[in-house]
Amino acid sequence: MAKRDRIDWLLTAIDAVEDLVQPKLDARRRQRDGAPDGEQDQELQICMEELRVAAEELTSLRDRLAIERQRYAELFDFAPEAYLETDARWNIREANRAAVELFHCPYDYLVGKPLVVFIAEEDRKAFRASLSALQQDGRSGSVDWSATLQSRAGDTVPVLIRASAAHDANGGVTGARCLIRPSAPQNGVAPLSADAPRESG
């Protein structure tokens, strides 16, 4: 469960507790007709106030997370280089604008497709081997390899791919994050080099 989803779940639970307890407290006050709250009711009221404070803090955290997520999405989408994120079956889950341009196909067509279908036939065996190596040794960092992209129209572009594994909370590989650059510079973007710094896994 994502952090934002956990926060929403906790807020829902707090609302449910408040909806259950507060009416009962109010009814008991009416029955006492102005008499002071008993010790148990006072403790319950304190707990309700603490829950309200926690709900306010959780709401603030959720809003901050939404802002950070939007900031990340903008940085990802407008990055000058092609970035992809895949799921554990190597289907494309996210792609930025540079990737859409490099792959020469619309975003809606790109997302959901297996990454391998955009690799030239002669490179697919080596491509799958590289992905398998990434999955088996995802903690060690990134994996670099060369391949040839092939668009729906049949156009080909030699590229260098740098991929690092994405992990879940238990350390399992959930997919890959890929940086893809043409082997030859295009539009002022330099190719990856053997000396370029690697992204940590």
Residue 140: predicted pLDDT: 59
Compare 105 and 37 and report the one with higher pLDDT. 105
Q: H-helix or E-strand containing 21? A: helix 3-32
Give the chain's end-to-end CA distance (angstroms, integer).
Answer: 21
Greater confidence (5 vs 35) lies with: 5
Average pLDDT, the chain: 80
* Residues 163, 90: Cα–Cα separation, whole Å: 11
- CA angle 75/60/5 to nearest 5° reads 70
Under DSSP, is residue 151 helix (H, G, I), strand (E, B) or coil?
coil
- Is pLDDT larger for residue 139 or for residue 66? 66
Q: Where are the domains of the chain?
A: 3-76, 80-182
CATH superfamily of 80-182: PAS domain (3.30.450.20)
Q: What is the per-residue pLDDT across 7-37, written as a single tens digit (0 to 9) for each?
A: 788 888 888 888 888 887 778 777 766 666 6
pTM value?
A: 0.61
pLDDT of residue 116 exceeding 80: yes
